[in-house]
Structures are given as structure tokens and as C-alpha cells.
Amino acid sequence: MRDPDYRTFWDALPHISIMRSRPDLQEAFRHEYREEIVGLLSWLHRLGVLWGATSIHPSPPDGCDLCSAQLDKLQLFIDGATQSGMWANMCPKCFLEEGHSIGWGKGQLYLNIGNGDWRLVAGGDPDAREPSDE
């Protein structure tokens, strides 16, 4: 077992887009940085950013409230507070420029899963539970 190397992990993250078409490189990355990935996910959970029940957005917006970018062309959008306190549906670019944070009561991160559906992946109610399959 080695000590986690978060600096090297962070430096390698921008290269993930190259790996999209190379499952062998993706697997090698996940293996090489498994400790860093688990550590990061654990920290995000402790901050209240990740986990909790997921859901499909009941009425996803068509565009970014700040720049009007078409959200269906993007991978992510954030439904959250801006730095001014206004609440908005934001594309990732506007969130990085104007958004406050991801977390319950601050901002929810949604992932485009296709067919007009958006899954809540971060910032949900930490006390919510997945519905049972009974």
C-alpha cells in the first residue's frame, strides 16, 4: 500500500477526456488512483456533497438562466444559489463564474442521462432514502 498522491491525481484529471474512447486507459487510471478516488469521494460525502437518494428532475429546464445555453447539449447543470443569493439553473460555465456551492440547500448537480432526463448526482437531501423495490 502506498500513500495517496493527490497532487499527481489532480494533475492527471484533465487528461480523462482523452480516455473516453479507451476503456483500457480508463481502467488503468481507476486502478492507479483508486486510493485517491476513494479518499476524494469520502471527503465529498463528509462535506454533504455526495450520496443520499438520487432522483430524476421532475421538470428540467431548457436553458441556463444566466446565459441561455441549451442544457440538453451539456452533460451537467446545477440548480443552485448564485453568489448574489439568487437561485438559478446554471450551465457549468456560469456555475463556476456565478454559483455558490453544491450541497443540500445550496445547489444540486444534475447529470444528463439522455432522453430529456436529468439525474440528481450531488447536493441532494442527505437524509433522503432510495425508495424500496418492494
pLDDT in tens, 54-70: 788 999 999 999 999 99
Residue 3: pLDDT above 90? no
Lowest mean pLDDT of 33-42, 89-98, 100-109, name the range: 33-42
99: confidence class by pLDDT, cuts 50, 70, 90: very high
- Mean pLDDT of the region 112-116: 92
Of the two residues 39 and 60, the one the predictor is more confident about is 60
- Tell me how far apart the alpha carbons of residues 13 and 54 are, in angstroms, rounded to a whole number: 25
In this prediction, residue 125 carries a pLDDT of 81
Tell which residue, 11, 107, 42, has the closest CA to residue 96.
107
77: confidence class by pLDDT, cuts 50, 70, 90: very high
Average pLDDT taken over every residue of the chain? 86
DSSP 80-110: EEBTTS-EEEE-HHHHHHHB---BTTTEEEE
1: confidence class by pLDDT, cuts 50, 70, 90: low
53: confidence class by pLDDT, cuts 50, 70, 90: low
